[in-house]
Amino acid sequence: MTMTTSSTSTKSDRISGTRLGYRFNIVGIVGLTVILSWALVAVFAPLILPYPVGEIVDLDYFGPMSRDFWFGSDYLGRDMLSRILMGARYTVGISLAAVTIACFSGVVLGMVAAVAGGWLDTILSRFLDALNSIPSKLFGLVVVAAVGSSIPVLILTLSVIYIPGAYRFARALAVNINAMDFITVARIRGESTLYLIRSEILPNIVGPVLADLGIRFVFIVLLLSGLSFLGLGVQPPYADWGALVRENIGGLPFGAPAVIFPSLAIASLTISVNLLIDNLPQKIRDRA
Amino acid sequence: MANLVEIRDLKVEATTDSGRRVEIIKGISLDVADGEIVALIGESGSGKTTIALSLMGYARPGCRISGGSVSVAGKDMVALREKERSRIRGTEVAYVPQSAAAAFNPAATIMDQVIEITRIHQLMSPDEARAKAVDLFRALSLPEPETIGARYPHQVSGGQLQRLSAAMALIGDPKLVIFDEPTTALDVTTQIEVLRAFKSVMKKGGIAGVYVSHDLAVVAQIADRIVVLKGGEMQETGTTEEILNDAKHPYTRELLDAFEPKPRGAAGPAEPTPAPLLKVDALVAGYGPRQADGLPLVRAVRQVSLKLEKGRNLGIIGESGCGKSTLARAIAGILPAVAGDIVFEGRELGRSARERSREQLREMQIVFQYADTALNPAKSIEDILDRPLSFYHGMDRKARSARIDELLDMVRLPRNLRHRRPSELSGGQKQRVNFARALAAEPKLILCDEITSALDTVVAAAIIDLLKELQRELGLSYMFISHDLSTVQAICDEVVVMYAGEKVEQLASADLASGAKHPYSKLLFASVPKLDTGWLDGLDQQPELVRALSKAG
């Protein structure tokens, strides 16, 4: 009798857990809201632009905030709000693509290295350590300067820079899981490496890997903005947030909103991602 | 004020992860007189350690003493302020933890740590303290009492460290010492020396003790009175003699019964099959880099040969570090053997699991000691049992689901458990799932590596019964590895005694005690505590033999 009651109670817990979703605290909700709104902006930017992106609409340059131009105007008199909304596409899109590639390859390689061990592990680890030893900004600058800047090149460069970190992180987690008896059991059942990493290891490290993905996203946003600020990122007439800061840096002595708002946009995105992963629901954090 | 310790209606609350408050000690009252040793006995989760800690006015994080009083030498530990409590700890009440290895700081010498209490409470000068410590070392029959204090914790053995932590507790001349399972982590031969040392020091000093343990036989040697606990409630209390010989409460009787499982009925003569199920010949396995002679640096298993007939059970017994688990791993192919043959059903097996066919892997399954790590915490029981079915037998979804129900029935688990995760099961239930996964492969041989060692006695006895029953139904053979003689005796036909990587002797389980010839097996069998208060005092062992044979000594 005790058995039945306890089992029904756990069952109802689980159902309510999946139905109501995860429990966030307030800081986590704020972070998530900011991230989601930037994501929506990135997707629907063309629909909500007050002015066309490339068009000079203000007679003044570095115009102040006004009714017509909420975020002021830039060094050519283009509407800043439209530029930032459109810039979200580049900043969020490129970073997201890069972080996805980086984490996917890093985590897969890390798990394979942990499970396979031996020479494969040694070679992979040393190679990626070597890659890791190159300063990220320098690497980015050299590659983009050599190959030329285009969006695919940017995405690939950024992801290559962040693969070693994701690899190290996933490998460290997977090595611990790999030492557990249930892996031994699966191994002597005759399971393949693919099964081991997909079904036995991945479910146990997915929580920390998600948190790591968030941090890495922030790094990539900052590096991308840095590259764009140096003129090697997204090329004119298009501009991501880093490029917007660079274009309008001349407005800094005048306290022009054109230079402040893109900076605020970068800060709001990175800070809220950090807030979100620091306040991930207990359920996700406890996965490992 | 009659007694040294008077606990009255003690209640302790714990807060669970979900924020619920649970009462884990439900109104316990007990007394300890001056110089008396009282044992708290019960399975894990019965609250025995919680009660012992409350004697120091301490509740573990998340716990709170919510009611009642704990009076030690006339002071109520619950009502005192933290500062006053810490003045009492170490001088009036002292604590000997379960794992001395974890209780010592590896970076400081033993002497510094043993006399730390006198420094904190400013009881005496360091020189006096050191002299006193040496006296205690001598009283606890530690080797080289003059110089052992200069060593670091890793330079002494586990048994010695446990006695040193008793010295640490005794140096402040406490009136009451709390022993929290101090010998549970030790081998039986080592346990005897530690118990003896504890007993003589306590008797000589007239110190009262609270001895927490799950092992009735150990407690019988040292305690004057026994308190049986279950689920935070007192089940029975009485003198040791009363509890052992005339237990009233059904739970106490269950504990006593579990201590001596029914021996396995003599199996009929083995079928005269030409080839045994498993034959291991001169197996060598070990760890570390290979040496010039082609053998590994540490040879954990040396030249072990054994044979297991179909439908029979073979026990492997020995102390920690004797190579018994390595032997199982080598046979299963987890750790490839360096030399020797493994013949299973007349066919030679590859040394590494990778070289064996799927069918060969299926027929030999291994079950590990810790069900916690042997079950993937991210998967449901259903998924865990499902995999071997689809992997080995290629069953379709419907057949698998039906088979999972059957498997759960076989191991006596309710079917609705299948949707739960391992963390939602008890230790015994997890071990049953662990076993069901091995059964799912429909093996011929199951290697059981200490599968009952992490379980409470009553639960372990139930698992052993289950194993026997399944053997009758399914015609399985077991290779049963354990350090616990009575479990091995309960299930095995033949027992192999291992010592330092070598097979010392092979005996029929019926005449283990009488038939042992090798001095090590004799010592091992004689060291298993018996449910008899006079056993320890009546035990006659030559200390030289013990020291020579027990590496941990």
**Does residue B424 sit at the A interface (CB-CB below 8 Å)?**
yes
pLDDT of residue B249 exceeding 60: yes
Classified by CATH at the fold level, domain B36-56+79-259 comes out as: Rossmann fold (3.40.50)
Q: Which residue of B376, B382, B413 to mutate against A (max A Cβ within 10 Å)?
A: B376
- Residue B457 is predicted with a pLDDT of 79
Closest chain B C-alpha to A192 CA, distance in angstroms? 10
- Residue A20 is predicted with a pLDDT of 46
Residues of B with Cβ-Cβ distance to A287 under 8 angstroms? 378
Place of tokens 């009262």: B208
Q: How many CB atoms lie within 10 A of CB B320?
A: 15
Q: How many CB atoms lie within 10 A of CB B514?
A: 8
Distance CA B468, CA A240 (A): 71
List pLDDT tens digits, range B253-281: 888 887 766 666 555 555 556 678 888 88
Query: Do A185 and B374 lie within an 8 Å CB cutoff?
Result: yes
- Residue B465 is predicted with a pLDDT of 87
pTM of the model: 0.77
Higher pLDDT, B141 or A103: A103
Going from the N-terminus, what domains does chain A have, and what CATH number goes with each? 34-285 (1.10.3720.10)
Going by C-alpha positions, the residue among B483, B500, B498 that lies closest to residue B548 is B500
User: Cα separations (Å) of A73 from A227, A250, B552?
Assistant: 23, 13, 80
- Residue B203 is predicted with a pLDDT of 86
Closest chain B C-alpha to A181 CA, distance in angstroms? 4
Which helix (H) or strand (E) segment holds residue B39: the answer is: strand B37-41
Confidence of residue B553 (pLDDT cuts 50, 70, 90): very low
Facing A187 at nearest CB: one of B353, B358, B419: B353
Phi, psi for B143 (deg, rounded to 5): -70, 150
Closest chain A C-alpha to B353 CA, distance in angstroms? 6
Going by C-alpha positions, the residue among B305, B346, B307, B299 that lies closest to residue B326 is B299
Phi, psi for A49 (deg, rounded to 5): -65, 130
What is the pLDDT averaged over residues B189-203?
84
**Domain-wise residue ranges, chain B:** 36-56+79-259, 310-337+349-530
- Residue A18 is predicted with a pLDDT of 40
- Residue A16 is predicted with a pLDDT of 36
Mean of pLDDT over chain B = 84
List pLDDT tens digits, range B417-451: 888 888 888 888 888 899 899 999 989 999 998 88
Interface predicted TM-score (ipTM)? 0.75
* Nearest Cα residue in chain A from B361: A189
- Residue A8 is predicted with a pLDDT of 39
What is the pLDDT averaged over residues B511-531?
80
Query: Do A185 and B378 lie within an 8 Å CB cutoff?
Result: no
- Residue A195 is predicted with a pLDDT of 92
Closest chain A C-alpha to B385 CA, distance in angstroms? 12
Residues of B with Cβ-Cβ distance to A182 under 8 angstroms? 373-376
Facing A182 at nearest CB: one of B332, B374, B420: B374
What is the percentage of chain B residues whose pLDDT exceeds 90?
A: 11
- Residue A288 is predicted with a pLDDT of 46
Going by C-alpha positions, the residue among A278, A210, A226, A194 that lies closest to residue A94 is A226
* Nearest Cα residue in chain B from A15: B419
The CATH number, out of the four listed (3.10.450.50, 3.30.70.120, 3.40.50.300, 1.10.10.10), of the domain defined by the range B310-337+349-530 = 3.40.50.300
List pLDDT tens digits, range B535-550: 777 776 656 666 666 5
List pLDDT tens digits, range A119-175: 999 999 999 999 989 888 888 889 888 988 888 999 999 999 999 999 999 999 999
**Does residue A10 sit at the B interface (CB-CB below 8 Å)?**
yes
Distance CA B44, CA B230 (A): 9
pLDDT of residue B2 exceeding 70: no
Of A6-15, A216-225, B281-290, B486-495, highest mean pLDDT: A216-225
Query: Do B368 and A7 lie within an 8 Å CB cutoff?
Result: no
- Residue B548 is predicted with a pLDDT of 64
Which long-range CB contacts under 8 A does A12-19 form with residues at least 24 apart? A14/B419, A17/A283
Q: Exposure of B500 by Cβ count < 10 A (0-12 exposed, 13-18 middle, 19+ buried)?
A: middle
Tell me whether domains B36-56+79-259 and B310-337+349-530 share a fold: yes
Distance CA B59, CA B78 (A): 10
Q: At what angle do helices B188-205 and B519-527 cross, to 10 degrees?
A: 50
pLDDT of residue A19 exceeding 80: no
pLDDT of residue A1 exceeding 50: no
